[in-house]
C-alpha cells in the first residue's frame, strides 16, 4: 500500500444501433455492469452510431429504453459517436503525420488479385478523382494480451489482419479507430464485451500504441448461440429481449454468466435482482466457451 487511492474502475457498454438488443447484447451489458459495480466503479453507455447505412432508425433510443427496463442506466451522459468526428479526425491526422497511416485507392478486386486476403503494399495508383480509404500500416509482429477471463491471446497481425482501414472510402471512421479514441477519452479502465471482438483487440492495442494512448484491461464474455449453434445478430432479430417482461431474460443472462440463480430467486424486480447479483458475482464462475441459450419463459 502506498497510500494513494487505486484509480477508479470505469467500464462501458457500447452497442451499435443496428437493431434491437438481443440476448447476447444483454449478456455483454449485464456482464460489464456487474464487473463495474463489483469494483465500486462507474458504468457508461456509449452509442456507436458511426455507420449511417447500417443504422436502424429509432434503434438507439429503443436500446437505451430496453437497458433502462432491465435496470441498466448510464452513470454519465451517453456518448454518441456521431458527435465525435473531430476527435477521430485529429487521431487520424496524428497517425498520418507520424507515418503510421496512409491513403489507399485499392479496390476489393485489386486486393483479391494481389495480396489475397489481406492488404499489404498498395497496388492501385493514387487517383485524383476519387477519395482514398486510410489504412494503418501493420508491422510484421505478433501482438498479444492477457484477457482477464480467457488468458493469453496472440495474433500475428500482418498475416491475419494486414494493413487495416481506419477511415473508409465513404468518409466514415472505422470502428477500430473510434473505439480506441473513445475508450481513452472516457478513461475506460477495463473493456468487458463479447468474445466476437476478441480478435479485434490486438488491432486496438496497436492503435493505442501508435496514438500514445493507455491500454485498458480486457475481458471477453462467452458468446450466446441460438438453438442451431449460430451467433446471435441484431440484423437477424435473433432472440430479441422483451423490455415489457425483463425478469425471465435477466435471470437467463445471469445464469449464462455463471451466477447461482437459485440463490437470487427472492429478488422480484430488475434492480433488486441486479443488486443481489453483484453480491455473488464471481469472474471465475463465468464459462469460457460459447453456449446455446436456454430461455425459459414466464417466471422461471
Q: Does 101 bind ligand GLU (CB under 6 A)?
A: no
Q: Does 15 bind ligand GLU (CB under 6 A)?
A: yes
Q: State in angstroms the smallest separation of the CB of 97 from ligand GLU.
A: 26
Determine contact, residues 280/263, Cβ cutoff 8 Å: yes
State the sign of the Cα–Cα–Cα–Cα dihedral 288, 16, 50, 107.
positive
Instruction: Report the distance separating Cα 248 and Cα 241, nearest Å.
Output: 9
**35, 100, 193, 220: which one binds ligand GLU (CB under 6 A):** 193
Q: Does 203 bind ligand GLU (CB under 6 A)?
A: no
Q: Strand order of the sheet with strand 164-167? A: 101-104, 133-136, 164-167
One symbol per residue from 53 to 72: x for binding ligand GLU (CB under 6 A), - otherwise; what is it? --------------------
**14, 122, 254, 264: which one binds ligand GLU (CB under 6 A):** 14
End-to-end CA distance of the chain: 45
User: Could you tell me how many residues of this chain bind ligand GLU (CB under 6 A)?
Assistant: 7
Q: Does 197 bind ligand GLU (CB under 6 A)?
A: yes
Nearest CB to ligand GLU, comparing residues 15 and 202? 15
Q: State in angstroms the smallest separation of the CB of 48 from ligand GLU.
A: 4
Strands (E), 25-92: 42-47, 79-80
Instruction: Report the distance separating Cα 263 and Cα 276, nearest Å.
Output: 9
Instruction: Report the distance separating Cα 300 and Cα 286, nearest Å.
Output: 21
Q: State in angstroms the smallest separation of the CB of 15 from ligand GLU.
A: 5
- From residue 90, alpha-carbon distances to 44, 99, 192 in Å are 23, 14, 26
Q: Does 135 bind ligand GLU (CB under 6 A)?
A: no
| Residue 107, C-beta contacts closer than 8 angstroms, at least 6 positions apart | 124
One symbol per residue from 29 to 48: x for binding ligand GLU (CB under 6 A), - otherwise; what is it? -------------------x
**179, 195, 232, 267: which one binds ligand GLU (CB under 6 A):** 179
Q: Contact region for ligand GLU (CB under 6 A) — 11-19, 85-93, 206-214, 243-251?
A: 11-19
Q: Does 51 bind ligand GLU (CB under 6 A)?
A: no
Q: Does 225 bind ligand GLU (CB under 6 A)?
A: no
Q: State in angstroms the smallest separation of the CB of 83 from ligand GLU.
A: 16
Instruction: Report the distance separating Cα 293 and Cα 225, nearest Å.
Output: 6
Q: Tell the burial category of 197 from Cβ atoms under 10 Å away from its Cβ (0-12, 13-18, 19+).
A: middle
What is the binding site for ligand GLU (CB under 6 A)?
14-16, 48, 179, 193, 197
Amino acid at each position: 500500500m502506498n497510500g494513494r487511492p487505486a484509480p477508479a474502475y470505469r467500464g462501458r457498454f457500447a452497442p451499435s444501433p443496428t437493431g434491437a438488443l438481443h440476448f447476447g447484447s444483454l449478456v455483454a451489458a449485464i456482464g460489464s455492469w456487474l464487473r463495474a459495480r463489483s469494483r465500486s466503479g462507474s458504468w457508461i453507455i456509449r452509442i456507436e452510431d458511426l455507420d449511417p447505412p447500417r443504422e436502424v432508425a429509432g434503434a438507439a433510443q429503443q436500446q437505451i429504453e430496453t437497458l433502462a427496463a432491465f435496470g441498466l442506466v448510464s452513470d454519465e451522459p451517453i456518448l454518441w459517436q456521431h458527435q465525435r468526428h473531430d476527435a477521430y479526425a485529429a487521431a487520424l491526422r496524428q497517425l498520418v503525420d507520424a507515418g503510421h497511416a496512409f491513403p489507399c485507392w485499392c479496390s476489393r478486386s485489386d486486393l483479391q488479385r494481389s495480396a489475397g486476403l489481406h492488404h499489404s503494399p498498395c497496388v492501385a495508383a493514387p487517383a485524383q478523382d476519387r477519395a482514398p480509404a486510410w489504412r494503418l500500416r501493420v508491422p510484421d509482429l505478433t501482438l498479444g494480451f492477457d484477457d482477464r477471463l480467457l488468458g493469453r491471446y496472440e495474433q500475428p497481425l500482418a498475416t491475419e489482419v494486414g494493413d487495416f482501414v481506419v477511415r473508409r472510402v465513404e468518409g466514415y471512421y472505422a470502428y477500430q479507430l473510434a473505439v480506441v479514441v473513445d475508450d481513452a477519452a472516457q478513461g475506460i479502465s477495463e473493456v468487458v464485451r463479447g468474445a466476437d471482438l476478441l480478435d479485434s483487440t490486438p488491432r486496438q492495442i496497436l492503435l493505442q500504441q501508435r496514438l500514445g494512448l493507455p491500454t485498458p484491461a480486457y475481458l471477453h464474455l462467452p458468446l450466446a448461440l441460438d438453438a442451431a449453434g449460430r451467433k446471435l445478430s441484431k440484423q437477424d432479430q435473433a432472440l430479441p429481449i422483451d423490455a415489457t417482461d425483463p425478469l425471465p431474460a435477466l435471470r437467463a443472462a445471469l445464469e449464462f454468466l455463471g451466477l447461482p440463480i437459485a440463490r437470487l430467486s427472492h429478488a422480484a424486480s430488475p434492480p433488486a435482482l441486479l443488486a443481489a447479483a453483484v453480491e455473488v458475482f464471481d469472474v471465475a464462475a463465468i464459462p469460457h466457451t460459447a453456449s446455446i441459450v436456454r430461455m425459459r419463459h414466464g417466471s422461471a
